[in-house]
């Protein structure tokens, strides 16, 4: 564990930060969730974090000021009252404004479930920035408690983790409030969402991805998968495969298309992959299935 001293904070630093304190904990690599580091940072004008990939999910809550985020070829202007996320392994660059540099609280989550929790907080595929729908200073106050409790003991580590989970719950609460604020969402039930997902998959099975379904519904992918599986008793991916195989079976019965052509028609560029999935579903390969149909005069 490392804690920046007051003397270190007063010196110019790589972080270009005033009033900065960070804590890094022992990393339990088999844990479902653990706190890697956190801090409250006031950046100097124009300070830029280079676009290198980093471990963990770095959640920033902007308390004042503004800056820019550049990730995956996109650029975002970020201001007070917003949150942004640097995702595990994704090269990301961000800069403080030259005239009104940002002051933010930040926390880094790691562990097997870190990605899922970030998705519950609304940071699904391709989402890096959100408005904060809870009081941003609540994050700062929680992180200050962590910073003020750096003692090297298991009890302290558990205490810090409990505070980190409070910060995570605030991020999830913020996303939930943003969804509640959308009037059209209040008109839809869980069953409605699942029905719309089923219809969308059935109409777009040849090219749809599960992320497309979640985006169409305006839901977090993890949440969408959860409610879909609860009602349909299979995941959206399993349902998509089922729809594709049913259409492939129908095409084998009703057309003279080649196996390769049918494979492409139902969304599989690789004919071998298609044949393996078909055999797993129906017990025979597409070729044998069609041959059996013809031998029986069907």
* Position with higher pLDDT, 298 vs 10: 298
Give the pLDDT of residue 11.
33
Q: How many CB atoms lie within 10 A of CB 267?
A: 19
Shared domain check, 203 and 167: no
Tally of CB atoms within 10 A around 126: 10
Does residue 61 sit in the same domain as residue 164? Answer: yes
From 121, 146, 181, the end of a domain falls on 181
Residue 209 structure tokens: 């991805």
Confidence (pLDDT) at 134:
95
Between 101 and 7, the higher pLDDT residue: 101
- Identify the H or E element spanning 271: helix 271-282
Torsion of CA 20, 160, 88, 129, to 10 degrees: -70
In this structure, the answer to whether residues 8 and 66 fall within a common structural domain is yes
Helix count and strand count (H, E) for the chain: 11, 12
- Tokens read off for 67: 């800056």
Q: Which residue has the higher pLDDT, 5 or 99?
A: 99
Residues 202 and 175 in one domain: no
For residues 177 and 188, membership in a common domain is answered with: no
Same structural domain for residues 54 and 193?
no
CA 240/CA 137 separation, integer angstroms: 43
- Contact between 57 and 109 under an 8 Å Cβ cutoff? The reply is yes
Range of the domain at 77: 2-181
Total count of domains within the chain: 2
Same structural domain for residues 154 and 291? no
145 and 42 together in one domain: yes
Structure token digits, residue 295: 């031998």
The pLDDT, as a whole number, for residue 20 is 33
pLDDT tens-place string over residues 25-54: 445 556 788 888 899 999 999 999 888 888
Report whether 225 contacts 236 (CB < 8 A): yes
Q: Which CATH number does the domain housing residue 128 bear?
A: 2.60.120.280
What does DSSP assign to residue 101? B
Residues 9 and 140 in one domain: yes
49-72 tens-digit pLDDT: 888 888 999 999 999 999 999 998
Here the CATH number for the domain that contains residue 243 is: 1.10.10.60
pLDDT at 184 over 80: no
Q: Are 135 and 83 in contact (CB under 8 A)?
A: no
Q: What percent of the chain has pLDDT over 90?
A: 58
Is the separation of the CB atoms in 133 and 177 below 8 Å? yes
User: 190 and 176 in one domain?
Assistant: no
Tell me how far apart the terminal alpha carbons of the chain are, to the nearest angstrom.
Answer: 72
Look-up of token digits 């004042």? 64
- In this structure, the answer to whether residues 131 and 20 fall within a common structural domain is yes
| Last residue in a domain, options 163, 181, 199 | 181
Residue with tokens 């492939």: 248
Closest residue by Cα to residue 36 from 168, 205, 127, 135: 168
What is d(CA 11, CA 100) in angstroms, rounded to the nearest whole number? 22
**pTM of the entire predicted model:** 0.58
pLDDT at 13 over 60: no
What six digits make up the tokens of 36?
């890697």
Report the Cα 248 to chain-centroid distance in Å.
Answer: 32
What average pLDDT does this structure show over 2-11? 33
pLDDT at position 9: 33
Contact present, 51 and 75 (Cβ < 8 Å)? no
Q: Within this chain, do residues 37 and 136 fall inside the same structural domain, yes or no?
A: yes
Spatial separation of the C-alpha atoms in residues 224 and 155, rounded to whole Å: 37
**What does the pLDDT read at residue 73?**
87
The domain boundary residue, chosen from 151, 181, 211:
181
- Provide the pLDDT for residue 1: 33
pLDDT greater at residue 126 or residue 79? 79
Q: Which of 206-210, 214-218, 272-276 has the lowest mean pLDDT?
A: 214-218
- At residue 101, does pLDDT exceed 70? yes
Predicted confidence (pLDDT) at residue 142 exceeds the cutoff of 60: yes
């Amino acid at each position: 564990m490392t804690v920046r001293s007051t003397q270190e904070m007063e010196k110019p630093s790589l972080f270009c930060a005033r009033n900065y304190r960070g804590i890094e904990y022992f990393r339990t690599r088999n844990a479902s969730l653990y706190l890697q580091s956190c801090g409250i940072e006031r950046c100097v004008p124009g300070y830029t974090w280079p676009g290198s990939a980093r471990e963990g999910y770095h959640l920033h809550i902007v308390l004042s000021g503004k800056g820019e985020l550049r990730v995956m070829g996109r650029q975002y202007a970020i201001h007070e009252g917003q949150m942004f996320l640097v995702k595990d392994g994704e090269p990301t660059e961000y800069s403080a404004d030259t005239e009104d540099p940002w002051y933010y609280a930040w926390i880094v989550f790691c562990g097997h479930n870190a990605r899922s929790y970030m998705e519950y907080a609304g940071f699904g595929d391709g989402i890096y920035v959100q408005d904060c729908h809870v009081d941003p200073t609540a994050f700062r106050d929680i992180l200050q408690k962590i910073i003020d409790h750096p003692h090297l003991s298991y009890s302290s580590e558990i205490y810090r983790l409990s505070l980190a989970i409070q910060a995570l719950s605030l991020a999830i609460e913020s996303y939930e409030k943003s969804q509640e604020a959308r009037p059209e969402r209040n008109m839809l039930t869980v069953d409605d969402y699942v029905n719309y997902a089923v219809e969308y998959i059935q109409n777009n099975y040849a090219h749809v991805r599960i992320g497309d379904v979640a985006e169409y519904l305006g839901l977090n992918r993890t949440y969408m998968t959860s409610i879909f599986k609860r009602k349909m008793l299979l995941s959206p991916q399993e349902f998509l495969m089922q729809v594709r195989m049913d259409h492939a079976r129908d095409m084998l019965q009703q057309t003279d298309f080649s196996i390769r052509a049918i494979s492409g028609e139902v969304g599989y560029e690789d004919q071998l992959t298609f044949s393996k999935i078909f055999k797993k579903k129906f017990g025979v390969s597409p070729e044998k299935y069609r041959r059996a149909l013809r031998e029986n005069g069907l």
